[in-house]
Amino acid sequence: MEGYILAFFYYVLICDTLKLVKNEGENMFQSIKYVLTENFSNVYRIYSIAKYEVLADIRDSRLGIFWNFASPTINVLTYWFVFGLVMNRKDVDEIAFFDWMIAGMVCWFFIRPCIVDGCNAIFQHSKMISKMKFPVSILPATVVLKELFNHACLMVIVFVIFIIQGIYPSVYWLGLLYYCFCAVCFSISITMCTSVLNMLARDTKKFVSSIMRLLLYMTPILWPLSRFDDIKWLQIIMKANPIYYVVAGYRDCFFYHLGFWPYRFRAMCFWAITITLFAIGSVLMHKFKAKFADLI
Amino acid sequence: MEEKYAVIFDHVSKIYSLKSKDKKDAGKRFYALKDISFKIPVGEVVGILGTNGSGKSTMSIILSGISNPEEGTITVNGEQALIAIQTGLNQQLTGLENIQLKGALLGFKKKQVQKIIDDVIDFAELGDFLYQPVKKYSSGMKSRLGFSINLALDPDIMIVDEALSVGDKRFAKKCIDKMNELKEQGKTIIFISHSLPQVKSFCTTALWIEGGELREYGDIDTVADHYDEYVQELNSMTKKEQKKLIKEKFEKRIIKEKPKKSLLNRLFE
């Protein structure tokens, strides 16, 4: 049943995309090609911007890289205190609640800053783009790459926590690489849109950061989806959430080991949304590429 | 014939929208540059003169291809680059790291950065400060570092915007010498400066813009003399007259009709 509904959802998305393709036509493919070539021909530039931004961040404080590990740890501890100790949640599918939660949270801690900081991706470099010829469309990728470093730090901590508790790495953990790639693609796509919109109106950033706070609780990260077993339609909407696809994927790799096949409809939804967002973002980037200097 | 010109401006206008105090007047538009046409031959060193607010910086941004004009067309033969001194320098990083970062920002590959690094260090004369964070640099040092990295870019057309007003005289001379070297290599240099003596000694032709319009383009000595006369004249006026003149000039640049463009229109135009 739910498979059909998801398939329908997917069908509607495709139709919408096709309609857009028909209207925007060549323009859209041109934009996508433009953004892709600009990104791939500037890989070293992306890497350097991200690297030196991380480095500048580290230099900023005395303890430096310590904070890259400490602040996510403290964040995790906060959630453990509230949900593990105070509320004493039951185990989910025979997995300790804390472990179950942390496997999803780790992914959220990556996507959230990507999307929130991503809004500012272009604006924070406004000084630079008004003074030199610069491929603006690479900026979303730099933000995501920078966050990827922090994500790697947090992953190390999570691995240590799991191994101490006796959850040992297996082949299935390699799936994390795929889901991480998904998260990167989704973040870049959405950031393409929001960063341009943020240049047109600075309200975008405020809007996105409040929405993200809401989305943390709307996405089944801190509570299991089985809570809505009686309300099927709500469950389906939740499953269509691209962030949940990645979160569930992380959990699958850590505990359930079901592989990719059970999640095929979600995967289709995810990639349809991601590609659509990327297309919209590319069109926006292409349209405003020469106007950013005036929009500041 | 076309090949001989480095830059061709054909009836170029740049328009900015203004925000004004009362709402009725909102959406006023303002000519930053108005109907400018000229041709700069390859290998020429052009000085751009003009009083404050006459559109020099807008000109440099358009010349370097960062921003597009609203009307008219620009043809540029070759790679152009704006020498922007302090942009892209990160306060927390050391001088060396900044060279690597800014090199990458300017579009160098890793090997190219390694290649230019020694030249840059040599030209910037930073010494042991190379390993200090840039926040501890004096402003002269910062501009030296920035200018040196930009020089390594080696474009066909170089646009220098008030770059030399920061460093001391000795370094300014060093830069001028370096630019003279480039001049002999046949590069086109566009030099934007307030300092008339500097422009006079360095440039071969000059371009004078006033109030967003092209006043004169020709041999350096004649244009500089006319410009000098104009500035003298301005200075000899009383304050009231000056104010009146400035207001007149401003009114001339405003476009009367007001096209209404909302955010949605801009997205879907």
| Token representation of residue B33 | 């540059």
Closest by Cβ to A200, choosing from B61, B67, B263: B263
A42 contact B CB<8A: yes
Identify whether the C-beta of residue B48 lies closer than 8 Å to the C-beta of residue B125: no
Mutate to test the interface with B, among A42, A131, A193, A289 (most CBs of B within 10 A): A131
- Residue B82 burial (10 A CB sphere; 0-12, 13-18, 19+): buried
Tens-binned pLDDT, residue by residue, of chain A (296 aa): 666 776 776 677 677 666 766 666 678 888 899 999 999 999 999 999 999 999 988 888 888 888 888 888 898 888 888 877 888 777 877 888 888 888 888 999 999 999 999 999 999 888 888 888 888 899 999 999 999 999 999 999 899 988 998 888 888 888 899 999 999 999 999 999 999 999 988 899 999 999 999 988 888 888 888 888 888 888 888 888 899 999 999 999 988 888 888 888 889 889 999 999 999 999 999 888 888 887 77
- Furthest CA-CA distance within chain B: 60
Q: Which of A 128-167 lie inside 8 A of B, CB atoms?
A: 128-134
Number of A–B residue contacts, CB under 8 Å:
73
For residue B118, the one-letter residue type is: D
CB contact under 8 A, B82 and A133: yes
Q: Which of A47, A126, A133 to mutate to test the interface with B (most CBs of B within 10 A)?
A: A133
- Assigned CATH topology for domain B2-79+187-268: Rossmann fold (3.40.50)
Please indicate whether, in this complex, the C-beta atoms of B65 and A133 are within 8 angstroms of each other: yes
- By C-alpha distance, the chain B residue nearest A60 is B92
| β-strand partners of A279 | none
Residue B138 main-chain phi, psi, to 5 deg? -80, 165
Q: Say if CB A115 and CB A121 are below 8 A apart.
A: no
Minimum CA–CA partner of B110 in chain A: A44
| B110 to A44: CB separation less than 8 angstroms, yes or no | yes
3-state SS, chain B, equals CHHHEEEEEEEEEEEEECCCCCHHHCCCEEEEEEEEEEEEECCCEEEEECCCCCCHHHHHHHHCCCCCCCEEEEEECCCEEEECCCCCCCCCCEHHHHHHHHHHHCCCCHHHHHHHHHHHHHHHCCHHHHHCEHHHCCHHHHHHHHHHHHHCCCCCEEEEECHHHCCCHHHHHHHHHHHHHHHHCCCEEEEECCCHHHHHHHCCEEEEEECCEEEEEEEHHHHHHHHHHHHHHHHHCCHHHHHHHHHHHHHHHEECCCCCCCHHHHHHC
Residues of chain A contacting residue B104, judged by C-beta atoms under 8 Å apart: 44-45, 47-49
Sign of CA dihedral A269, A274, A277, A282: negative
* For testing contact with chain B, the best of A48, A55, A200 (most B CBs within 10 A): A48
Whats the size of chain A, residue-wise? 296
* Cβ neighbours of A293 in B, within 8 Å: 61, 66-67
| Gap from B221 CA to chain A (nearest CA, Å) | 30
Question: DSSP secondary-structure letter at A168?
Answer: -
On chain A, the residues whose CB falls within 8 A of the CB of B68 are 290-291
Using the beta-carbon criterion (under 8 Å), do B67 and A56 form an inter-chain contact? Answer: no
Question: Per the CB < 8 Å rule, is B82 touching A132?
Answer: yes
| pTM to 2 decimal places | 0.83
Flag whether residue A41 sits within 8 Å of chain B, measured between CB atoms: no
Q: How far is CA B131 from each of CA B29, B99, B102, B128, B144, rounded to the nearest angstrom?
A: 48, 11, 16, 6, 15
- Judging contacts by C-beta atoms under 8 Å, the chain A residues touching residue B92 are 55-57, 59-60
Number of separate domains in chain A: 1
Query: What pLDDT was estimated at residue A119?
Result: 92
DSSP single-letter state for residue A89: P
- Verify whether the Cβ–Cβ distance B104 to A55 is below 8 Å: no
Nearest CA in chain A to B111: A44
Enumerate the residues of chain B whose CB falls inside 8 A of the CB of residue A45.
104-105, 107
Answer yes or no: do A201 and B97 touch at CB < 8 A. no
CA gap A137, B77 in Å, rounded: 25
Residue in A55, A130, A290 nearest the CB of B93? A55
Across the interface, whether the CB atoms of A55 and B97 are under 8 A apart is answered: yes
For chain B, give every domain's residue range: 2-79+187-268
**Shortest CB distance from B92 goes to which of A48, A59, A132?**
A59
pLDDT digits (tens, 9 = 90+) for A157-175: 899 988 998 888 888 888 8
Span B28-85, pLDDT tens digits: 777 888 888 888 888 888 888 888 878 888 888 888 888 888 888 888 888 888 877 7
Q: Do B67 and A290 touch (CB under 8 A)?
A: yes
Q: How far is B123 from chain A (nearest CA, A)?
A: 22
Contact, A252 vs A100, CB < 8 A? no
Separation of CA A149 from chain center: 14
Residue A254 and residue A170 in contact, taking contact as beta carbons nearer than 8 Å: no
Q: Domain of A162?
A: 2-295
A 72-101 near B (Cβ less than 8 A): none
**Does the structure show a pLDDT above 70 at B199?**
yes
Mean pLDDT, to the nearest integer, of B89-97?
Answer: 86
Rounded Cα distance, A2 and A263, in Å: 12
pLDDT at B1: 45
ipTM (interface predicted TM): 0.77
* Among the partner residues A131, A200, A291, nearest to B87 by beta-carbon distance: A131
Question: Is A48 in Cβ contact with B67 (below 8 Å)?
Answer: no
Q: Report the C-alpha gap between B152 and A56 in whole angstroms.
A: 24
pLDDT in tens, B122-168: 888 888 888 888 888 887 788 888 888 887 777 888 888 766 666 67
- Chain A residues near residue B82 by CB distance under 8 angstroms: 131-133
Q: Is the separation of the CB atoms in A126 and A134 below 8 Å? A: no
